[in-house]
Amino acid sequence: MSKDIVYVKDLVKVYPNGIKGADGVSFNVKEGEIFGLIGPNGAGKTTILRIIATVLQPTSGKVMVSGYDVVKEANMVRKIISYLPEDAGAYKYLTGLEFLEFIAKLYSHRETNIEKIIEEGMRISGLGERLKEKIKSYSKGMLRRLLVARTLMVNPVLAILDEPTSGLDVVNAIQVRNSIKIYAKEKNVTVLMSSHNMLEVEYLCDRVGIIYKGKMLAVGEPKELKESYEAQNLEEVFVKLIGKALQ
């Protein structure tokens, strides 16, 4: 039986303005699993990911990553995760290849390891000869592919991806999705991602958690949730869950 890489129990985050970014959220993510948090903008997805990534402190509750407490053992958690925020950027005056090399050297000091990491990044990005060009010349889709490669190539225990295909056209979104799915399964990397695109998550994720106004409304495999709520897709599941929540 696979172990929990992420364990979240009764997570609460209250911001100074009184808004709850997380309101008693509980879920787990198994080793090698691609788990998706889905919900509309402002539902609390980014709050939850930032807490797991040790960027934000929770108000209460328990959050563990591979057995480490994200509050008490934050430094240990940071060593085993790789986090891609939705608004992440890259050094625009470096070439794509120079950027991958820079990141590889942050994670390893052994030359052979650095070369392997860079090769993985090149492969995952799928940018080919464009890696020799400066990042400032990249389209949004190319930049996102480079950043996803940067996140996965270091072979983390947990990769955290916040809206990895946000704002991308269909072609680039498909390339990013395929990169995530193929790499996660090849390397047995655990992936926790967020998206407001429920059809995308249905394709990509082994299990999903549906979030609305900081609350976790349901957790399960896409197929299981569709059957339970007699729905054609996760969007329909979401609409039915919201209807129940508002009753």
Q: Taking a C-beta distance cutoff of 8 angstroms, is the pair 88, 167 a contact? A: no
What distance in Å separates the CA atoms of residue 177 and residue 205, rounded to the nearest whole number?
Answer: 10
In sequence order, which residues have a C-beta less than 8 Å from that of residue 5 and are 6 or more positions away?
Answer: 29, 30, 31, 33, 65, 66, 157, 158, 190
Total-model pTM: 0.92
Strands 34-38 and 190-195: parallel
- Phi, psi dihedrals of residue 163, rounded to the nearest 5°: 50, 60
- Phi, psi dihedrals of residue 35, rounded to the nearest 5°: -115, 130
**pLDDT surpasses 70 at 245:** no
Alpha helix ranges (H) inside the chain: 45-52, 74-80, 96-107, 111-125, 140-152, 170-187, 198-204, 222-228, 234-246
**pLDDT surpasses 90 at 134:** yes
Write the CATH number for 209: 3.40.50.300
Residues in the chain: 247
Centre a 10 Å sphere on the Cβ of residue 130 and count the other Cβ atoms it contains. Answer: 18
pLDDT at 246: 65
Centre a 10 Å sphere on the Cβ of residue 105 and count the other Cβ atoms it contains. Answer: 14
pLDDT tens digits, 202-238? 889 999 999 999 999 999 999 999 999 999 999 999 9
pLDDT tens digits, 11-28? 999 999 999 999 999 999
pLDDT at 166: 84
Average pLDDT across the chain, whole number: 92
Centre a 10 Å sphere on the Cβ of residue 119 and count the other Cβ atoms it contains. Answer: 13
What distance in Å separates the CA atoms of residue 76 and residue 89, rounded to the nearest whole number?
Answer: 25
**pLDDT surpasses 90 at 77:** yes
Split into its structural domains, the chain has a count of 1
Q: Residue 197: which domain range? A: 4-246
Please report which confidence band the pLDDT of residue 72 belongs to, taking 50, 70 and 90 as the band edges: very high
**pLDDT surpasses 90 at 31:** yes
